[in-house]
Structure 1
């Protein structure tokens, strides 16, 4: 599967003339306009007492035995309401395919109940939620789609498990395969503005969580956050990962976190049929960090375009991304 795909909607992809370059492609996906879809929310309790919120889209309001279900993982500072998630769920709905988007901890508009949050390697959370879904729908086939950070989580999960039982196919989009390289890129050139945006959002989320813990008297978890010390001077995403992400999630520092959670060195261990969708003009993912197609296992294929940005892929006729994803998931 490492070669091209004659049936891919991204074959010969050309960016819309009014959206040239990786930055405009990326910003178009973020700021819309975009389609929306009616989602049904559900809250799942995790084994540690925390919660994760899901967003279901069911054709006809139900899922029949044997029907496929697509499990969706969003990116950094995203959620189930992100336009790219809704665009996929809308497209799948039109094709009669059910989907469920998982909000990582603290990403559904409400702080989660633990000091720990989410990061690029939280494959254990994805696995736990997936197992709950499989228990509930044992007669259904599942696929998974991960965007950016969620794509890295997906690939790490696939490699760690050798392919979760019941997961038939997977697609990752605009993945930061090498977290150290991508973190460094977020501090350079125009891309540093993306880094500042992410940092601001993460700091806001952290402040909201502290306020929530004070209001609810969650002293144990608040103490874990207070142990991090003053954080107002953090100036980069790398520094946030070094002083917040790493200590909260059991890593020695940012370098340790990046080394242990990057999906790039794990790709050879993936056994599930998987499509990797990337663009060489992605402002958040340097081309040097992309995997070598020749070193991928036969069941993993890299679909690499010269345009498309970060989770963009807008041609003159609209986005090519959703069709490409759905076609791969339902192909024989």
Structure 2
């Protein structure tokens, strides 16, 4: 049976930057990426959530960004000693549809799951978050009693959530065993320029709709430097960042924010094992925005990059092979879970 599983695997294109053809995908490939992305959005939205969730709440008492209350959904699996923390993408929250399939698959594999909302994403948001704000997640790992029950803790981040997870992996946090970053930008300036193109209007409007809703809710709870009506007029991600993130967190301008917070610049510093999964057909984070990933000498040995054969943005191909051997079934989350479990034991908390 193991050999049969292996025979039907769709192998990853490779564990390094994709071939030149993938970096310059043709029109049919781009179309397949759009179709895969939209199809995943629809099918994930139709999936029912597990009924076993427990409300999660954690107060960040300090840090460089000030206090905040984080909320989430906790899905305990009886007898599990492993916890996967799922981080949503920009404009998303703990109810984002792509997390339902991940939760069901990982719980079925014997793992517990915590879907953690970043600051600003709850029903009663108190503050904004940004693409490099990893300190809140570090506080949860360090101080939360629920997380402390588990022997091994992993973080799986989707899109911008994966970007935050990579910052955490570079911060050498105790008890963190490994991270998986799925379709995450690495170089924020290039990613934003791509999303602000007219060709990306559908995706950009979807993201901005979630961000505007979040900002209006924040404005009802605390003073904000820019009125929601002015923010609502922002039609690009760069304009949104200029009006909100830059002013809230003290960056000089969007360029300063992007350059200082891009995870691509810290790939050489990652101490925690990190798996970066990409699709060459991704319409939101295409290979052209990841050009710096080719600098092998700047990558830590802890970093592994896998390019999927197919899929789209947060849209897996039906089968995936990360080279883990014929005994591992080739469904995406079976492969991800097996990779996580093969990483060394995490550093003990002091």
Pairwise TM-score range, normalised by the shorter structure:
0.7 to 0.9
Tell me whether 1:158 sits opposite 2:169 in the alignment. yes
2:138 corresponding residue in structure 1 = 127
Q: 2-side partners of 1:302 and 1:197: how far apart?
A: 28
Q: Please name the residue that 1:37 is paired with.
A: 50
Distance 1:249 1:262 in 2: 15
1:315 match: secondary structure = coil
Gaps of 5+ in 1: 1-5, 214-220
- Tell me how far 1:276 sits from its aligned partner: 0.6
Gaps of 5+ in 2: 1-5, 14-27, 321-329, 344-350
Aligned to 1:196: 205
Conservation of the 8 A alpha-carbon contact between 2:215 and 2:228: no
Q: 1:304 aligns with which of 297, 303, 307?
A: 307
CA RMSD in angstroms, aligned pairs only:
2.8
Q: Retained in 1: the 8 A contact 2:169–2:270?
A: yes
Structure 1 position 275 matched with structure 2 position 275: yes
Which segment drifts farther, 289-298 or 36-45? 289-298
Deviations 1:156-192 (CA, angstroms, capped at 9, x unpaired)? 1211x1x211111111100111111110111224322
Aligned: 1:87 with 2:101: yes
Q: Offset at 1:139?
A: 5.6
**1:99 equivalent in alignment to 2:102:** no
Task: Give the deviation of 1:297 after TM superposition.
Answer: 2.2
Query: 1: CA distance between counterparts of 2:100 and 2:213?
Result: 24
Give the secondary structure class of the aligned counterpart of 1:101: strand
Structure-2 change in CA distance of 1:256 and 1:122 (3 Å): same
Specify the alignment match of 1:111 in structure 2.
124
* 1:7-18 alignment runs, 5 A limit: 11=11
Change (3 A) 1:184 1:237: same
- Give the match for residue 69 of structure 2: 51
Deviation readout 1:239-264 (Å, 9 max, x if unpaired): 11011111112211111111111100
Per-residue deviation, residues 272-316 of structure 1 (Å, max 9, x unmatched): 111110011111113133212733222211001242111101328
**Of 280, 292, 300, which residue of structure 1 is paired with 2:294?**
292
1:136-165 CA distances to partner (integer Å, 9 max, x unpaired)? 526621111111101000111211x1x211
Matches of 1:207 and 1:96, distance apart in 2: 39
Aligned length: 304
Deviation at 1:134, TM superposition (A): 6.7
Could you tell me how far apart the structure 2 residues matched to 1:45 and 1:172 are?
Answer: 25
- Residue 87 of structure 1 contacts residue 322 of structure 1 at CA under 8 Å; is this kept in 2? no
Residue 229 of structure 1: how far off its partner (Å): 8.6
Once the two structures are TM-superposed, the CA of residue 237 in structure 1 deviates from its matched residue by 0.9
In structure 2, do the counterparts of structure 1 residues 293 and 71 end up closer, same or farther at CA, with 3 Å as the change threshold?
farther
Aligned partners of 1:8 and 1:327 also within 8 Å: no
In the other structure, the counterpart of 1:217 is: none
- Residues 153, 178 of structure 2: 8 Å contact kept: yes
Could you say what secondary structure the match of 2:230 adopts? coil
Distance 1:315 1:243, change over 3 A: same
Instruction: Quote the offset at 1:204 in angstroms.
Output: 2.3
Structure 1 equivalent of residue 90 of structure 2: 76
